Amino acid sequence: MPVHTMEQEQQEIPPRRKTIWDRENLNQVLAVLRIHIITASYGVTVGWPAPIIPLLRSPDTPLPSGPITVEEASWVGATLCIGGTIGTILFAVIHTYYGKKVGLLLISVPHLILWTLILVGDNVWYIYVARFFSGLTGGGVVSVVPLYIADIADKKIRGTLGSLTIIFINIGLLFIYTAGNYLPYHVIPKIMLVAPVAFLVLVSFLPETPYCLLRKGRLLEAEKSLMFYRNITDERQRTVEFTTEFDEMRNFILAESMQSRICLKDFTTPEAKRGLFIGVFVMALNQFSGIFAILTYAGTIFQMAGTGIDPSVALIIVAAINICGNLTSFAIIDRVGRKILLLLSAAGVGMALAVLGTYSYLLTAGYDLHGVEWLPVLALSLTLFLAAIGITNIPFFIVPEVMPPKLRAIGSTISATLLCMMAFVCVKLYPILMESIHIHGTVWISSGVCAIGVFVIIFLIPETKGKNLNVQSKQ
Burial grade of 174 (CB within 10 A; 0-12, 13-18, 19 or more): buried
Q: Are 405 and 252 a contacting pair, CB within 8 Å?
A: yes
- φ/ψ of 298, rounded to 5, equals -55, -40
Question: Does the structure show a pLDDT above 50 at 216?
Answer: yes
Q: What is the DSSP letter of 297?
A: T
Question: Does the structure show a pLDDT above 60 at 340?
Answer: yes
CA 27 to chain centre: 22
Per-residue pLDDT tens digits for 227-236:
999 888 877 7
User: CA 245, 248, 250, 252 torsion: positive or negative?
Assistant: negative
1 confidence band (pLDDT: 50, 70, 90): very low
Q: Provide the residue type at 353 as one letter.
A: L
Question: Does the structure show a pLDDT above 80 at 257?
Answer: no
Q: Provide the residue type at 264 as one letter.
A: L
Q: What is the DSSP letter of 265?
A: G
CATH architecture of 265-474: Up-down Bundle (1.20)
The percentage of residues in the chain with a pLDDT greater than 70, rounded to a whole number, is: 91
90 confidence band (pLDDT: 50, 70, 90): very high
Residue that wins the pLDDT comparison between 262 and 441:
441
| pLDDT value of residue 351 | 95
Q: Are 318 and 298 a contacting pair, CB within 8 Å?
A: yes
Distances in Å between the Cα of 38 and the Cα atoms of 193, 297, 327, 443 are 11, 22, 19, 31
The CATH class given to the 22-206 domain equals mainly alpha
Range 376-400 average pLDDT: 83
Residue that wins the pLDDT comparison between 20 and 219:
219
Average predicted confidence (pLDDT) for the chain: 84
| pLDDT value of residue 14 | 52
Range 301-323 average pLDDT: 73
| pLDDT value of residue 101 | 94
Range 367-372 average pLDDT: 79
Rg of the chain, C-alpha, whole Å: 23
Question: Does the structure show a pLDDT above 50 at 460?
Answer: yes
User: pTM to 2 decimals?
Assistant: 0.77
Burial grade of 351 (CB within 10 A; 0-12, 13-18, 19 or more): middle
Q: What is the DSSP letter of 206?
A: S
Residue that wins the pLDDT comparison between 330 and 124:
124
User: CA 337, 339, 345, 348 torsion: positive or negative?
Assistant: negative
| pLDDT value of residue 349 | 94
| pLDDT value of residue 10 | 47
Distances in Å between the Cα of 164 and the Cα atoms of 31, 118, 194, 326 are 12, 28, 21, 8
468 confidence band (pLDDT: 50, 70, 90): low
The long-range contacts involving 248-255, CB below 8 angstroms and separated by at least 24 positions, are 248/468, 248/470, 248/471, 249/210, 249/211, 249/214, 249/222, 249/470, 250/214, 250/219, 250/222, 251/470, 252/405, 252/470, 252/471, 252/472, 253/211, 253/214, 253/215, 255/472
Domain with CATH 1.20.1250.20 in the chain: 22-206, 265-474
471 confidence band (pLDDT: 50, 70, 90): low
197 confidence band (pLDDT: 50, 70, 90): very high
Lowest pLDDT segment from 48-57, 150-159, 392-401, 449-458: 392-401
| pLDDT value of residue 53 | 86
User: CA 145, 149, 150, 151 torsion: positive or negative?
Assistant: positive
Q: Are 176 and 50 a contacting pair, CB within 8 Å?
A: yes
| pLDDT value of residue 73 | 84
Burial grade of 3 (CB within 10 A; 0-12, 13-18, 19 or more): exposed
